[in-house]
Amino acid sequence: MRRCFFLKKMVLMLAMGALAAGTGRGAFAAPASVSGIQEYKQNISTQEYEKRYNAVYGKFTGQMAEQGNPADFMLDDGKDLFKKVEGTTGKSCASCHGENGEKLKGVAAGYPKYDPAIKGINTMALQINRCRKENMGAPELKYESYDQLALELYVKSLSNGVPIKVSIDGPARPFYEAGKAYYYMRQGQLNMSCAICHVKYAGHMIRANLLSNNRHHADHWPGYRLKWGKTGSLQKRFRGCNKKVRAKPLPFQCDTYRDLELYLTYQANGLPVAVPGFRM
Ligand code: HEC
Ligand code: HEC
């Protein structure tokens, strides 16, 4: 499992003012939360943001998506992969989870979530690779590769329309707080936090872009993005925004990004899962 100790350390120092030495994870297992961060008030409501979005961009992306999202082809390929036998145990995902994934219906609405087996946050992408390795004897898929995104997309699509309901209670709490601390940490040469752009200044223009508020950030990835000319994940978005402020992007599925994904998905609680998304 990938970790990013250095950053975790910075986040902790920011949140607690001091860092108890240890393995990174150890400090997080403590029940004491690392909160104390005063969250900004959302600058604009989701409705107001949508109004501004339509004023700036028109109905362009909506209309394009209606005509067909290029990521739909990837989703179909994901369905085939789900049924494909691979690995030493001679099984496919379908062997255990139902021919059409029946047993995984609605499951993605509860992800990411705390998993005691890894003493941390489990994302859908991570779970799929764990199943490949542990239950199929197949190699893990490279994050952001075509097959990895296709499978993730298919499994998440089995929850389309189901309201997101991630839990931040109990053991999940410190990881949520760590995600929040990262979201509020100033970083990069521009010395800006995620929250400055996506909460405090949401609804403002930044160059040619309208800054979105973060309510709708985690409900529609993987999705197709015109700027990329391809389909990508939520964590690819994290990396892109890290680079925007000239900070170093982190490895996919490292613990900090999984904590961040929990924080952001919690902001989307109650919204239906809607993959694949379609964005500028
Ligand atoms: C040999 C059986 C087996 C195979 C093959 C398998 N899994 Fe799993 N999978 C499990 C078990 C066991 C669990 C954990 C038990 C649970 O949470 O219900 C699990 C859990 C999951 C979960 C989380 C379920 C939840 O309720 O949180 C997902 C999603 C999942 N698997 C997807 C896949 C995908 C995609 C594949 C193919 C790449 C796959 N699995 C292959 C047995 C399997
Ligand atoms: C300098 C301002 C700025 C900062 C700081 C910033 N972003 Fe962004 N972000 C943008 C812009 C511009 C876009 C594209 C327009 C939009 O959707 O807001 C964007 C888009 C996104 C999206 C996609 C929204 C969607 O449509 O689904 C996510 C997710 C996101 N950012 C997360 C983050 C995270 C996490 C951080 C902190 C690591 C961060 N951003 C920091 C400017 C910023």
pLDDT (tens digit per residue) in 93-134: 999 999 999 999 999 999 999 999 999 999 999 999 999 999
Q: Residue 96 Cα, ligand 1 centroid: separation in angstroms?
A: 7
- Annotated catalytic residue within 4, 93, 241, 254: 241
Reduced DSSP (H G I as helix, E B as strand, rest coil) percent helix, strand, coil of the chain, to 5: 50, 10, 40
Tell the CATH superfamily of the 5-65+164-279 domain: Cytochrome c-like domain (1.10.760.10)
Which listed ligand is nearest to 242 at the C-alpha? 2
Q: Which of 104, 158, 159 is nearest to 272 (CA)?
A: 159
Q: Which fold has domain 71-157?
A: Cytochrome Bc1 Complex; Chain D, domain 2 (1.10.760)
For ligand 1, mutation pick of 84, 131, 141, 151 (most atoms within 8 Å of CB): 131
Q: Residue 179 Cα, ligand 1 centroid: separation in angstroms?
A: 26
Q: Which residue type, as a one-letter code, is found at position 195?
A: A
pLDDT value of position 19: 31
CATH 1.10.760.10 intervals, the chain: 5-65+164-279, 71-157
Least confident stretch, 66-70, 178-182, 232-236:
66-70
3-state secondary structure of 5: helix
Q: Tokens for 51, please give them.
A: 């109004």
Q: Residue 267 Cα, ligand 2 centroid: separation in angstroms?
A: 14
Q: Which of 231, 229, 213, 209 is nearest to 221 (CA)?
A: 231
Active-site annotation holds for 93: no
pLDDT value of position 4: 60
Q: Indicate yes or no: pTM above 0.85.
A: yes
Question: How far, in Å, CA of 171 to CA of 154, rounded?
Answer: 29
Q: How would residue 3 be classed by pLDDT, with cut points 50, 70 and 90? A: low
- Residue written as tokens 């029946």? 102
For ligand 2, mutation pick of 56, 197, 215, 225 (most atoms within 8 Å of CB): 197
